Amino acid sequence: MEVNYIHSFKNLNYKQCIEIQNKLIEKIELKPLNYTPEIVAGVDLSFFQEYSIAIIIVIDEKFNEIELVYHYQKTEFPYIPGLLAFRELPVFLEAWKKLKIKPDIVFFDGQGIAHPRKMGLATHGSYFINLPTIGIAKSRLYGTYEEPCKEKGCFSYLFDKNNEKIGIVLRTRKDVKPVFVSPGNYITINEAKDITLKYTLKYKIPEPTRLAHIYSQKIKNEKFKSG
């Protein structure tokens, strides 16, 4: 797949990163999809020692795995809360270049607009791939909410400091802690919720990112821990 490099990741300092995020905020488009996604991708990003590892898995509506790609490289950007996209996107984009099947939508293990500057991994990454994205997080990074009821499908909205909706706290399994769903870009908040539920089976995490995580652990063991 092609990558639309909207900016470089080389030699950026903290101030430059914040400036990039603030400029990109103006380009967020939470607009309805004009189609029903049939091919979806899940992204998992992890680290081992000095390496960054990206996994992308593509599945269809019947949860058949139709493509898997990965890439690893040395990590160049430090861990800075609120700027994780600058640390994680470079390796993701290298994996994305290897992808042959274009998905209709991409799930990221991370935040979308549920971020202090609305620029989580799923949002920031959307500009490079020009596709609708959804952020799926296991914990809250930012915002306030009321706990949803205990049944599967129950949800509440996540609000920023201006009382604007920035995501959904979604119960994907009965009596299990909710996930934090936020649109990355080119999709509405409620669509992000509905599509997440559609691709969630018996586990808490939707299948695209759950499967990507499984393969991430497998590849990490094969490439870095086997010796």
| Extended beta strands in 76-178, E state | 105-109, 133-137, 155-159, 165-170
- Per the annotation, does 194 bind a ligand? no
Paired sense of beta strands 133-137 and 105-109, if any? parallel
Sequence-distant (≥ 6) Cβ neighbours of residue 182 within 8 angstroms: 111, 112, 113, 114, 115, 120, 122, 134, 135, 137, 158, 166, 167, 168, 189, 192
Helix 84-98 × helix 121-129 angle, to 10°: 40
- Residue 26, amino acid: E
- Per the annotation, does 109 bind a ligand? yes
Compute the distance between CA of residue 139 and CA of residue 213 in angstroms, rounded to an integer.
16
Residue 169 φ/ψ region, left for φ over 0, alpha for ψ in the -120 to 50 degree band, beta for the rest: beta
Q: Which residues are annotated as a binding site?
A: 44, 109
Q: Which residues are annotated as a binding site for Mg(2+)?
A: 44, 109
